[in-house]
Chains A and B, each alone.
Chain A
């Protein structure tokens, strides 16, 4: 048992993995390959076909994609909706959660209580949230309009979900309400990592609250902001449940998003190939946006 045999053993270990370890990874590998990777590849294949689910699929090359890009005004509108929805949700959810996190940074009874309250919507199902807000938004007896009328703002009592001008924004508000609390918790965890003496030093120098925020909190919280923004972006591009339970994309597709469009194209219009092409577009958009965000935020780290 010299040093050589030790090296040999190590070498052998490096070329040949323990069979038992490989066996342990097999169940996960099998389910994942068969029900995640294989469908994902199949999905790509579908996107080059025309298929109604009944007759034989017909290979049409890039036709679905060129049609999506050049001829489909509705899909262009839907992608536009989704981008607007994502922008609004990302901006407001991030701003609110950062603001609330700075307020709720210290661990006192009140702040912990408020964090628990704020987090509460996160545990509800999106369908419940969608249906609760459908009631709040109801134009005739909804709580929102009743409150507006009660304080004399009758002109602002609108048909929130039933008007093409407001439906998308109304759903965006619900989305922000739904997930801000979760982001507050992430921000609180991030902000609590900032050394307290930075603030003490700033206070000694007579820095105002705004200056402290601008020069300490914001730059130090950038990594957390990157997480919050990335997560919110992906979540907003994947959004389906709220739209489906509140407006089903209406009126006149004014609140349709990409996933609702994929669902309807496939299961209402039975254009499976075309729906698959839309889902490929979704993957590309999500990857592109997250890549851009990573780049910008990394540049920000560099400067700071």
Chain B
């Protein structure tokens, strides 16, 4: 019993440290000079200087990608949720075989990894002049995340008791009104969780931006971070500062909306 408790506590502490130590190195490192990071990565900075942040802003290359990432993530999530919830509502309310057919069609997207489409998407986007375009990234994100979103939301809409719809239907409300005034309000927790899940995916995506974006002024944060590796081969202070900037929105959201965050990210895993 004692042995069990001791092992348990050691293991739990070990993994907690495995998370806390690297995170602390990054946070502390963003206030340090390179040498200090290499020699004493875990010590408190000699002075809490904001110089790295100032340098990052001065060299310029972080505000634009931040703005681009926000634009891409916000629009991608908004339109995915809009299109997915409309389609999921329609599928859950259809009485003919059409609904079943649509559901299976969208579910196919869960079986084909989105990564395999990089080559045709690239050539299609070259033709449509959608490379080096935030609109292009948004369109790809919507297409890639629609299947999982429709899957999650359809199962949610199907769980809404029929009576709730029927009451509204008797009043002569059309589908659009039922969708807006009954389905949407009821599904707010599910939409919120799905939205967070989608936001994390879009915010962190590397593969498609890597392939579609080469212009500096169109780069998103993950691309910029990758560039830091090359540009500042040894400057971990700048890299850690950039990682801080890139992670802050996620961390703030995580702290503020922890429950929906965890729910969203695990629902995405379970359903996907």
State which of A15, A20, A141 has its C-beta within 8 Å of the C-beta of B176: A20
A116 to B23, CA, bound (A): 14
Judging by beta carbons under 8 Å apart, are A116 and B247 in contact?
no
A267 to B94, CA, bound (A): 43
Closest CB in chain B relative to A192 CB, distance in Å? 13
Residue A2 lies at the interface, judged by CB distance under 8 Å to chain B: no
A59 to B144, CA, bound (A): 29
Residue A4 lies at the interface, judged by CB distance under 8 Å to chain B: no
Return the CB mask of B116-130 against A: 1 if under 8 Å, else 0.
111111111000000
Judging by beta carbons under 8 Å apart, are B229 and A131 in contact?
yes
A132 to B243, CA, bound (A): 9
Contacts of B204 in A (CB 8 A): 124-127, 241
Whose C-beta in chain B lies nearest to the C-beta of A232?
B269
State which of A123, A231, A238 has its C-beta within 8 Å of the C-beta of B200: A123
Judging by beta carbons under 8 Å apart, are B175 and A286 in contact?
no
Interface size on A, residues (CB 8 A): 87
Contacts of B150 in A (CB 8 A): 28
Return the CB mask of A99-129 against B: 1 if under 8 Å, else 0.
1100110000000001011111111111110
State which of A25, A177, A240, A286 has its C-beta within 8 Å of the C-beta of B87: A25
Residue B143 lies at the interface, judged by CB distance under 8 Å to chain A: yes
Choose the segment among B14-22, B49-57, B158-166, B184-192 that binds chain A (4+ C-beta atoms closer than 8 Å): B14-22
Whose C-beta in chain A lies nearest to the C-beta of B42?
A143
Whose C-beta in chain B lies nearest to the C-beta of A121?
B19
State which of A263, A266, A286 has its C-beta within 8 Å of the C-beta of B113: A286
Interface size on B, residues (CB 8 A): 93
Judging by beta carbons under 8 Å apart, are A22 and B90 in contact?
yes
Closest CB in chain B relative to A243 CB, distance in Å? 11
Judging by beta carbons under 8 Å apart, are A186 and B211 in contact?
no
Return the CB mask of A26-49 against B: 1 if under 8 Å, else 0.
011101101111111011001000
Residue A16 lies at the interface, judged by CB distance under 8 Å to chain B: yes
Contacts of B118 in A (CB 8 A): 262-263, 266, 279
State which of A28, A53, A286 has its C-beta within 8 Å of the C-beta of B84: A28
Which chain B residues numbered 224 to 272 have a C-beta less than 8 Å away from chain A? 225-226, 228-229, 236, 239, 243, 246-247, 250-251, 253-254, 258, 261-262, 265-266, 269-270, 272
A276 to B120, CA, bound (A): 9
State which of B12, B39, B91, B265 has its C-beta within 8 Å of the C-beta of A182: B265
Judging by beta carbons under 8 Å apart, are B4 and A240 in contact?
no
Judging by beta carbons under 8 Å apart, are A99 and B115 in contact?
no
Residue A199 lies at the interface, judged by CB distance under 8 Å to chain B: no
Residue A21 lies at the interface, judged by CB distance under 8 Å to chain B: yes
Judging by beta carbons under 8 Å apart, are A262 and B115 in contact?
yes
Contacts of A69 in B (CB 8 A): none
Judging by beta carbons under 8 Å apart, are A234 and B175 in contact?
no
State which of A34, A36, A104, A181 has its C-beta within 8 Å of the C-beta of B147: A36
Judging by beta carbons under 8 Å apart, are A125 and B222 in contact?
yes
Residue B193 lies at the interface, judged by CB distance under 8 Å to chain A: no
Contacts of A189 in B (CB 8 A): 266
A141 to B239, CA, bound (A): 15
Residue A24 lies at the interface, judged by CB distance under 8 Å to chain B: yes
Whose C-beta in chain B lies nearest to the C-beta of A36?
B143
Residue A68 lies at the interface, judged by CB distance under 8 Å to chain B: no
Contacts of A31 in B (CB 8 A): 83, 139, 142-143, 146
Return the CB mask of A244-256 against B: 1 if under 8 Å, else 0.
1100000000000
Residue A82 lies at the interface, judged by CB distance under 8 Å to chain B: no
State which of A13, A25, A266, A272 has its C-beta within 8 Å of the C-beta of B102: A25
Judging by beta carbons under 8 Å apart, are B117 and A40 in contact?
yes
Return the CB mask of B77-119 against A: 1 if under 8 Å, else 0.
0000011101101110111101100100110110111111111
Q: List 6 A-B contacts (CB under 8 A).
A: A31-B139, A32-B147, A96-B15, A123-B265, A134-B229, A240-B207
Q: Which residues of B contact A (CB under 8 A)?
A: 4, 8, 11-12, 15-16, 18-23, 25-26, 38-39, 41-42, 82-84, 86-87, 89-91, 93-96, 98-99, 102, 105-106, 108-109, 111-124, 139-140, 142-144, 146-147, 150, 174-176, 179, 200, 203-204, 206-207, 210-211, 221-222, 225-226, 228-229, 236, 239, 243, 246-247, 250-251, 253-254, 258, 261-262, 265-266, 269-270, 272
4 nearest CB pairs, A to B: A35-B143, A125-B204, A28-B87, A39-B120
Q: Which residues of A contact B (CB under 8 A)?
A: 13-18, 20-22, 24-25, 27-29, 31-32, 34-40, 42-43, 46, 53, 96, 99-100, 103-104, 114, 116-128, 131-136, 141, 143, 146, 177, 180-183, 185-186, 189, 209, 227, 231, 234, 237-238, 240-241, 244-245, 259, 262-263, 266-267, 272, 275-276, 279-280, 282-283, 286-287
With A100-B12, A245-B229 already in contact, 16 other A-B pairs whose C-beta atoms are closer than 8 Å: A17-B96, A20-B174, A21-B175, A36-B112, A36-B143, A100-B15, A118-B15, A125-B246, A128-B247, A146-B41, A241-B204, A244-B206, A262-B118, A279-B118, A279-B119, A283-B113
